[in-house]
Amino acid sequence: MKVVCLSGGVGGAKLAAGLHDVLEPGELTVIGNVGDDLEVLGLHVSPDLDSVLYALAGINDTERGWGRAGETWETLESARAWGGEGWFMLGDRDIGLHLVRSQALRDGESLSGITARLVLAAGLETRMLPATDDRLRTQLVTPAGTFPFQEWFVARRHEDEVDALRYDGADVSRPAPGVIEAIEGAEAIVISPSNPYVSIHPILAVPGIREAIEARRSRCVAVSPLIGGRAVRGPLDRMMQRLAGGTTPAHVARCYDGLLDALVIDAVDATAETDGAVVVTDTLITDRDAARRLAETTLEATMENPS
């Protein structure tokens, strides 16, 4: 069964890992967000692609929730001591990947090309595609000014309220090679429990991607990133209150207007306002087994006949 999963970083990677486990090798294609990408200490970092890669390979730190397990921080401490920028956390093991990717990009390789090589080096048969090889950067418009995603999220600890988002470069970007074909050939499309505004909308902002999903022949199912109207982690509940006017399943579904055949929600939200078909299950991913269970339920939801 050919499955496409749209994914951001941490929340998305958790479900992507479950899908990777329950599908046959090579059946899953993850389309990842690049709106969070940044250049730091001369390195190109793609935090969302890396979160997915690390989670699929089982080398992610599940307690901290991001980066690699068993990480150390000596390179960053040294860079700080030499007066380098130290606000973005880069671990020693993590830096190894950024060095390889940055060199490849400097040598003219595409982001999708180097991503494919990294996946291969990790021994994975799942395909990972950045939404675009072009430069696309999410900007948060806040009362304190407009900030690139990581500056708002990490340096300013996502404390500023968000009035609007901009996906700079999206209008002239092209889907990375294979993205449209993967969506067109998919027997199921899954939208991970990622932050719609900062993880999924930047993917959909690449011309052609939303249209390909709208024209789908398969079903498209999203998993809600909110449980009990609250983000499991991060600022999504505050963002939704301000940008969408609420945090019910109906508000989440409206973030994906025209794209969903069903929304997978947690049992605690079953009585809240919904909008369209919902599938109720336990959506908190506490470990890899939970990820597999949620992946299976989500895939079942993509196979049901549209009512």
Rounded to the nearest whole angstrom, what is the least distance from the CB of residue 113 to ligand GDP in the complex? Answer: 23
How distant, in Å, are the alpha carbons of 14, 51, 113, 123 from that of 57? Answer: 12, 10, 19, 8
Rounded to the nearest whole angstrom, what is the least distance from the CB of residue 115 to ligand GDP in the complex? Answer: 16
How distant, in Å, are the alpha carbons of 225, 250, 261 from that of 283? Answer: 8, 16, 18
- Tell which one of 61, 284, 288, 296 touches ligand GDP (CB under 6 A): 284
- Tell which one of 283, 297, 298, 302 touches ligand GDP (CB under 6 A): 283
Name 140's bridge partners.
147, 165
Helices (H), the chain: 10-22, 47-57, 74-81, 92-106, 111-121, 149-150, 179-185, 201-204, 209-214, 236-244, 249-254, 288-303
Binding mask 144-183 for ligand GDP (x = CB under 6 A): ----------------------------------------
Residue 9 interacting with ligand GDP (CB under 6 A)? yes
Cα 278 from Cα 267, distance rounded (Å): 11
Rounded to the nearest whole angstrom, what is the least distance from the CB of residue 286 to ligand GDP in the complex? Answer: 7
Residue 12 interacting with ligand GDP (CB under 6 A)? yes
Binding residues with ligand GDP: total (CB under 6 A):
25
Residue 239 interacting with ligand GDP (CB under 6 A)? no
Q: Which of residues 186-205 bind ligand GDP (CB under 6 A)?
A: 193-195, 199
Instruction: Specify the residue, 223 or 253, whose C-beta has the smaller distance to ligand GDP.
Output: 223
C-alpha count within 13 angstroms, C-beta hemisphere, residue 119: 23
Rounded to the nearest whole angstrom, what is the least distance from the CB of residue 125 to ligand GDP in the complex? Answer: 22
Helices (H), 58-165: 74-81, 92-106, 111-121, 149-150
Cα 68 from Cα 46, distance rounded (Å): 14
> Mind giving me the DSSP string for 265-279?
EEGGGTTS---S-EE
- Tell which one of 3, 4, 5, 8 touches ligand GDP (CB under 6 A): 8
Residue 285 interacting with ligand GDP (CB under 6 A)? yes
Rounded to the nearest whole angstrom, what is the least distance from the CB of residue 116 to ligand GDP in the complex? Answer: 21
Which amino acid does the sequence have at 123? Answer: G
Residues lying near ligand GDP in the complex (CB under 6 A) are found at 8-12, 14, 36, 48, 51, 193-195, 199, 223-225, 227, 231-234, 236, 283-285
